[in-house]
Amino acid sequence: KAGVTQTPRYLIKTRGQQVTLSCSPISGHRSVSWYQQTPGQGLQFLFEYFSETQRNKGNFPGRFSGRQFSNSRSEMNVSTLELGDSALYLCASSGGTGGTGELFFGEGSRLTVL
C-alpha cells in the first residue's frame, strides 16, 4: 500500500511569489491535514479536509489556503510569500469517517523563501 506522497519535496521561491503544494493520501483515506514545521514554532496545524470540505482550520492568515479534490488529493497554496513562510510543510492522511484517528505523514515539502 503506497504511503502519503507530497510533491515537490524541495522548492525555492522569492518573496511575493505564490506556491502550491500537493498531497496524495493513502488510498481510501478521506481526511487530509496540513502542518507547518519551523525550528522556532514547531509543528503547527494549518487545516484539515474531509470529503472535499474544510473541517478544521488553524490560526494562519488568509494567504494560506487549501482544497481537496473528489479523489481525496489535496493542495495547499500560499500567496504573497514572506521570508517567515520558509518551513517544512507536512501533509497527513487518516482513514475512517468519524473524526481524526491515526495520522499517516508524508515526507514533507521543504519551502525556502528568499
Partner 1 sequence: AQSVTQLDSHVSVSEGTPVLLRCNYSSSYSPSLFWYVQHPNKGLQLLLKYTSAATLVKGINGFEAEFKKSETSFHLTKPSAHMSDAAEYFCVVIHTGGFKTIFGAGTRLFVKA
Taking residues 64 to 83 in sequence order and writing x for each that binds partner 1 by CB under 8 A, - otherwise, the string is --------------------
DSSP at 26 = P
Q: Which residues, in sequence order, are CB contacts of 95 under 8 Å at separation 6+?
A: 26, 28, 29, 30, 31, 101
Determine, following the binding rule CB under 8 A, whether residue 106 of this chain makes contact with partner 1.
Answer: yes
DSSP at 69 = -
Determine, following the binding rule CB under 8 A, whether residue 11 of this chain makes contact with partner 1.
Answer: no
We find the least distance from the C-beta atom of residue 100 to partner 1, in angstroms, to be 5
Residue 26: alpha-carbon gap to chain centroid:
14
The residue (of 62 and 98) whose beta carbon lies closer to partner 1 is 98
We find the least distance from the C-beta atom of residue 63 to partner 1, in angstroms, to be 22
Contact present, 91 and 34 (Cβ < 8 Å): yes
User: Could you give the CA distance from residue 43 to residue 113 in angstroms, rounded to a whole number?
Assistant: 18
Considering only 11-19, 64-72, 75-83, 88-96, which stretch makes contact with partner 1 by CB under 8 A? 88-96
Binding site for partner 1 (CB under 8 A): 4, 33, 35, 42-43, 45, 48, 50, 55-56, 88, 90, 92, 98-108, 110
